[in-house]
A and B are shown apart, each in its own frame.
Chain A
């Protein structure tokens, strides 16, 4: 899974801390998500995409090779 969270977050000028607070997770979780080290649940992915004002498929891109 490739995430474009960092890019969308930067566009909105939002900090990791602020995003974490908005979606109700820890800042570490945002760090792991941005590094592609954690696959979020559908609920969390939806909350993040709403907070970043984009679609889920725009932020979380499924990589056929990596899975």
Chain B
């Protein structure tokens, strides 16, 4: 019953959001949202069409959902930061914002779908050591990302306060932290791809 009401609430909110966006002529976002909903709920929609009932959300699905949501959340956060920075420097001067947001929504849907599909194939193929490394990489990525924002803010603050061009936070925010962030992201990607490769080859990673 709880699941049914959650689905109904989700459908009503989606419909209202779509109507609101349509009234504001954000057609790109509407198309992206519809595609996103189809991508995210494809299993549920298929089950409703074929069996006329919602599929069971068992413990494996719940684990996958949690993993997929975490991956997508990180992806959405990182992409938003990058897009905000690009918008700040007027890279998308000629591009409509609706197009950027809609593209982002579709990509998020795809990332969610991929991580949802591959999470249970990758997770069992990662040994304790690999999972530990993945965790370290993800934590470092998060910390370095926060460091970028914090160091830039501190640089501006110290520079304004002392009236000089401060160097330490400048180097930290624009060189060191982005480099650590890139290495961490690459590292986590390598571990994930190794697990995916092992799932196809049937070998466990140490």
Contact = CB atoms under 8 A, between A and B. Distances in A.
The size bracket of the interface on A is: 10 to 19
Contacts of A24: 56, 58
Interface string A16-48: 000000001110110010000111110010000
Contact of A38 (B55, B124, B204): B124
Q: Is the interface of A mostly helix, strand, loop or mixed?
A: loop
Which of B58, B59, B124, B204 has the most chain A CB atoms closer than 10 A to its own CB? B58
Interface residues of B, number: 11
Contacts of A38: 60, 120, 124
A44 B124 CA distance: 17
Which of A25, A39, A40, A66 has the most chain B CB atoms closer than 10 A to its own CB? A25
Nearest to B127: A67
B12 to A, nearest CB: 26
Contacts of A32: 60, 120
Contact of A26 (B56, B124, B204): B56
Nearest to B58: A25
A32 B56 CA distance: 16
Interface of B: 55-56, 58-61, 120-121, 124, 199, 204
Contacts of B61: 26, 29
Interface of A: 24-26, 28-29, 32, 37-41, 44, 66
A40 B61 CA distance: 12
A25 B56 contact: yes
Nearest to B47: A26
Given A26-B56, A38-B60, 7 more contacts: A24-B56, A25-B58, A25-B60, A26-B58, A29-B59, A32-B120, A66-B204
29 contacts: A24-B56, A24-B58, A25-B56, A25-B58, A25-B59, A25-B60, A26-B55, A26-B56, A26-B58, A26-B60, A26-B61, A28-B60, A29-B58, A29-B59, A29-B60, A29-B61, A32-B60, A32-B120, A37-B120, A37-B121, A37-B124, A37-B199, A38-B60, A38-B120, A39-B124, A40-B59, A41-B59, A44-B59, A66-B204
